[in-house]
């Protein structure tokens, strides 16, 4: 008898359908939040509707949209808004960059925090773009804070934002885990290229990706491939380790400072004022010099955001913690000795959901070169 479970590409649709939505708004919203192609989501939605588990209504009030806003969207907003390091850094940047009288566009406004901050700073006009149903909450909050006369909400896809304005500033919190694990940068870039005036500013203006080898036996044994190395209930599960190594996922976790074997090195610099999403797909080779004997259990990644002159948001464990945490790329345990060099090549390419990422790792020692180990991290997160 077969076993059944929900398809991964159906789950985001079912969560969003906890609140009433028009089909096209649903597809656009879920495509943005999940990174899944709209064509795939339309097929899945048609199957769900044909199954007879949805109720339809010709009229859905704005009040109903607010009252029944799906918990997944609110949960995501809560996760971001309780990140004080994130909020404070973006608000400081807005105070530095936005000038009284400016025209500002906020791409993906969410609950409207950054749009309201720009208006409070003195921006004459603020256009706040949001495709999901959270826009109703944003509108209510903007009105409650007395800023409705300066903030114009656009409910829809950023690609459909048509205006003849010349923006002084584009602000957008398009950031995903490991910076590039998100599907919102294209929307930001499209608006930037269409309306930002020559010499205009963006928040953030740049992003930098970093990587470092780590030793963390607890993480490796509990959350990584090492779990399968020990018997379970007295039975040998070791063959499952190879299966996991062939189907690896990046893991979002808090990596301890003491786990780092070297200083993080720069993988990639992204200029948010002009680069397209193509800059997310790259190959970079780096080296790490080991200063002690250790076992490498993977590579840890983080990013920095340059939000304004002198305003950098650092997501490493050596700074204030953020909701982005760090990204752990597990590998098969690799013993190294003091003086060894670890050669690592990182590459990313377009995936069906988030970028596909690959690592190749090779140890160089006084005895010679070790074999190159290659790891693929698919298109998912854990």
| CATH number of 255's domain | 2.70.160.11
Show the tokens assigned to 93. Answer: 């940047």
Nearest alpha-carbon partner for 83 in 327, 251, 315: 315
Show the tokens assigned to 76. Answer: 């995501």
Rounded distance, CA 27 to CA 360, Å?
37
Let me know whether 29 and 154 are in one domain.
no
Domain assignment of residue 210, yes or no: yes
Mean pLDDT computed over 354-372: 91
Structure confidence at residue 159 (pLDDT): 87
Structure confidence at residue 32 (pLDDT): 58
Structure confidence at residue 66 (pLDDT): 41
Of 14-23, 33-42, 51-60, 333-342, the range with the highest mean pLDDT is 333-342
For residue range 171-225, list pLDDT tens digits in order.
Answer: 999 999 999 987 789 999 999 999 999 999 999 999 999 999 999 999 999 999 9
Domain assignment of residue 70, yes or no: no
Cα→Cα distances 90→94, 264, 277, 293, Å = 6, 24, 22, 41
For residue range 90-104, list pLDDT tens digits in order.
Answer: 999 999 999 999 999
Domain assignment of residue 193, yes or no: yes
Structure confidence at residue 61 (pLDDT): 42
Is the confidence at residue 334, as pLDDT, over 70? yes
Final residue belonging to a domain, choices 156, 179, 203? 203
**Domain of 38?**
11-61
Final residue belonging to a domain, choices 163, 178, 203? 203
Domain assignment of residue 54, yes or no: yes
Mean pLDDT computed over 347-354: 82
Q: 148 versus 13: which is more confidently predicted?
A: 148
Mean pLDDT computed over 121-150: 95
| Residue 160: count of CB within 10 angstroms of its CB | 10
pTM, full prediction: 0.81
Let me know whether 266 and 307 are in one domain.
yes
Let me know whether 135 and 254 are in one domain.
no
| Neighbour-count burial of 42, counting CB atoms closer than 10 A to its CB (0-12 exposed, 13-18 middle, 19+ buried) | middle
Domain assignment of residue 73, yes or no: no
Structure confidence at residue 62 (pLDDT): 42
Structure confidence at residue 109 (pLDDT): 95
Q: What is the percent of the chain where pLDDT is above 90?
A: 69
Let me know whether 249 and 371 are in one domain.
yes
Cα→Cα distances 304→204, 267, 346, Å = 10, 11, 18
Cα→Cα distances 184→28, 29, 180, 361, Å = 12, 11, 9, 30
Let me know whether 176 and 114 are in one domain.
yes
Mean pLDDT computed over 153-158: 93
Domain assignment of residue 1, yes or no: no
Structure confidence at residue 300 (pLDDT): 98
What's the domain count of the chain? Answer: 3
Q: What is the mean pLDDT of the chain?
A: 88
Mean pLDDT computed over 215-244: 95
- Residues 370, 362 contacting (CB under 8 angstroms): yes
Show the tokens assigned to 335. Answer: 């013993």
């Amino acid at each position: 008898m077969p076993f059944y479970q929900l398809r991964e590409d159906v789950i985001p649709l079912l969560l969003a359908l906890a609140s009433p939505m028009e089909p096209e708004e649903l597809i656009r919203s879920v495509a943005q939040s999940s990174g899944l192609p709209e064509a795939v989501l339309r097929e899945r939605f048609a199957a769900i509707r044909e199954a007879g588990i949805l109720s339809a209504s010709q009229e859905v009030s704005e009040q109903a949209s607010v009252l029944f806003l799906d918990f997944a969207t609110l949960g995501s907003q809560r996760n971001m808004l309780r990140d004080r390091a994130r909020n404070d850094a973006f608000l400081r940047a807005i105070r530095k960059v936005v000038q009284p009288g400016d025209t500002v566009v906020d791409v993906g406004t969410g609950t409207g925090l950054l749009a309201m901050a720009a208006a409070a700073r003195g921006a004459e006009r603020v256009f706040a773009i949001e495709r999901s149903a959270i826009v109703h909450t944003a509108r209510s909050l903007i009105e409650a804070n007395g800023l409705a006369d300066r903030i114009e909400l656009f409910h829809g896809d950023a690609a459909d934002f048509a205006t003849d304005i010349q923006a002084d500033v584009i602000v957008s919190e398009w950031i995903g885990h490991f910076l590039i694990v998100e599907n919102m940068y294209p929307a930001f870039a499209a608006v930037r290229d269409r309306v930002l005036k020559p010499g205009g500013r963006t928040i953030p203006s740049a992003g930098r990706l970093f990587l470092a080898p780590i030793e963390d036996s607890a993480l490796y044994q509990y959350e990584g491939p090492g779990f399968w190395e020990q018997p379970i209930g007295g039975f040998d599960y070791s063959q499952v380790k190879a299966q996991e190594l062939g189907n690896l996922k990046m893991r979002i976790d808090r990596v301890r400072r003491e786990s780092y074997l070297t200083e993080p090195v720069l993988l990639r610099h992204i200029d948010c004022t002009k680069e397209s999403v193509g800059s997310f797909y790259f190959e970079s080779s780096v080296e790490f010099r080991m200063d002690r004997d250790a076992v490498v259990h993977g590579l840890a990644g983080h990013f920095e955001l340059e939000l304004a002159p002198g305003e950098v948001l650092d997501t490493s464990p050596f700074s204030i913690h953020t909701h982005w945490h760090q990204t752990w790329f597990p590998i098969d345990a690799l013993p190294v000795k003091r003086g060894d060099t670890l050669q690592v090549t990182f590459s990313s390419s377009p995936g069906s959901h988030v970028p596909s990422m690959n690592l190749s790792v090779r140890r160089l020692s006084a005895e010679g070169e070790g074999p190159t180990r290659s790891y693929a991290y698919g298109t998912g997160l854990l």
